[in-house]
Amino acid sequence: MSLVRFRPAVPADRLREDFDREAWPHFREICRSARGLARSRGEAEDLAQEVFLQAWKSFARFERGTNCRAWLYRILWNVHHQKLRKKVPVPLGAEGEARLAETLAAEPPTPTEIKDGEVAAALDAVSPEHRQILLLSDVEEFTYKEIAGILRVPIGTVMSRLSRARAALREKVRGTSAAAGILAGGRAAQGETP
């Protein structure tokens, strides 16, 4: 029979001091990350507020000495993922994933001249899951191991998801660049792929 783990109560005042020291310094960063994930400022504020409320309610269980920033991002992921599940059941779809995986081996070159506005449009066009893992890796600069902890998936899954996310972003960038007429010429390393 499994035992229920009851932790000793912590005085609320001490918990608030710890929360002020450990969690609040990351508030603005979490807000900005939430803004990168949400479609509107209001949605981002709801997301950031929910993250901090959940963090506070669960803070007695936060293991002191571990990475509070990564812990907050794990909550951000959970809350965001739950919201996504309500709105978008399957962001890419198994068929889409398979199609993308096939194109990975024969990917055309990435455009060399890219404008920030085109990248922003491409980021907006990839699935929310892809956008989130790209932000975790390329912007927040979490290691693969830390991302695995945040998303609670094996490190191999992080690598494959990131690979798909980056390929999806490059595909969107190529699309927007081509639309702008600036796609760089040149032979793809894997041959003249369509």
Partner 1 sequence: MTAALNVRDYACGRVRRRLDSYLAGELSVDLSHEILEHLDRCPECRAEVKARENLRAAVRRIAAAMPEPRDGFEAEVRARIARTPPRGTVSVLLLAASVLVAAGVASWLVVGRDGRQSPETTASAPSLQAATADFAVVNHEICALRHTWPETAPPEEVLASGLDPKLERVLREAIPRLPGYVPVTAHECAPAGETVFHIVFRRVGTAGPGGLVSVLSTRPGSKAASGPALAGLVSGGRRGLAVVGTSAPDGRLLLLVSGGNEDETMALGRAVLPALATAFAGS
For partner 1, the binding residues in 69-108 under the rule CB under 8 A are 75, 78-79, 81-83, 85-86, 104-105, 107
Does residue 67 touch partner 1 according to CB under 8 A?
no
Cβ atoms < 10 Å from Cβ of 112: 10
Q: Could you tell me the smallest distance in angstroms from the CB atom of residue 94 to partner 1?
A: 22
Q: Which lies closer to partner 1 via its Cβ, residue 40 or residue 95?
A: 40
Cβ atoms < 10 Å from Cβ of 148: 17
Q: Which lies closer to partner 1 via its Cβ, residue 21 or residue 27?
A: 27
Instruction: Specify whether the CB–CB gap between 179 and 111 falls below 8 A.
Output: no
Instruction: Specify whether the CB–CB gap between 134 and 166 falls below 8 A.
Output: yes
Instruction: Specify whether the CB–CB gap between 176 and 113 falls below 8 A.
Output: no
Cβ atoms < 10 Å from Cβ of 76: 24
Instruction: Say which amino acid occupies 4.
Output: V
Q: Could you tell me the smallest distance in angstroms from the CB atom of residue 36 to partner 1?
A: 6
Does residue 157 touch partner 1 according to CB under 8 A?
no
Distance CA 5, CA 97 (A): 41
CB crowding 17-32: b at 16 or more within 10 Å, else e: ebbeebbeebeeebbe
Instruction: State which of positions 102-141 bind partner 1 (CB under 8 A).
Output: 104-105, 107, 109-112, 114, 116, 119-120, 123, 134-135, 137-139
Lookup: tokens for 37: 């994930």
Q: Could you tell me the smallest distance in angstroms from the CB atom of residue 112 to partner 1?
A: 5
Q: Which lies closer to partner 1 via its Cβ, residue 31 or residue 92?
A: 31
Q: Could you tell me the smallest distance in angstroms from the CB atom of residue 146 to partner 1?
A: 11
Given 22, 26, 48, 149, the residue binding partner 1 (CB under 8 A) = 48
Interface with partner 1: number of residues (CB under 8 A):
73
Distance CA 21, CA 14 (A): 11
Instruction: State which of positions 158-187 bind partner 1 (CB under 8 A).
Output: 159, 162-163, 166, 169-170, 173, 184, 186-187
Given 66, 157, 190, 193, the residue binding partner 1 (CB under 8 A) = 190
Nearest to 167 by CA among 107, 121, 116: 107
Does residue 17 touch partner 1 according to CB under 8 A?
no
